[in-house]
Amino acid sequence: PFTLVLARSGRSMDLPAGTPLLPALRALGAAVEASCEGGICGACRVRWLEGPPIHRDRVLKPAERATDCMACVAGCAGPRLVLDL
């Protein structure tokens, strides 16, 4: 399990390990675009502040992964994932 935290709105939600972020973000009221929902289009890119995320996408370059993740496929490798939302 991990805690998904939205830094700007101050909202958070506890999620089971392996849960995709996108439905949780919608439930928390975050406005995140999405299209493919499979980690290939880049629409759902979000900035992360604390992690690390598990990436699973096919669009981000290694340097981009240091700051961003794809909400439709990303998970969390630690106890807390903080997003810049």
Question: What residues make contact with ligand FES under the rule CB under 6 A?
Answer: 34-37, 39-44, 57, 70, 72
In the complex, minimum distance from the CB of residue 82 to ligand FES, in angstroms, rounded to a whole number: 19
**Closest distance to ligand FES from the beta carbon of 42 (Å):** 5
42 vs 52 by CB, closer to ligand FES: 42
Burial class (CB in 10 A: 0-12, 13-18, 19+), 40: middle
Nearest to ligand FES of 10, 62 (CB atom): 62
Between residues 7 and 36, which has the closer beta carbon with respect to ligand FES? 36
Distance of CA 36 to the CA centre of its chain: 15
Strand, coil or helix: 24? helix
Q: How far is the CB of 31 from ligand FES (least distance, A)?
A: 14
**E-assigned strand segments in the chain:** 2-6, 12-15, 45-50, 53-54, 68-70, 75-76, 80-83
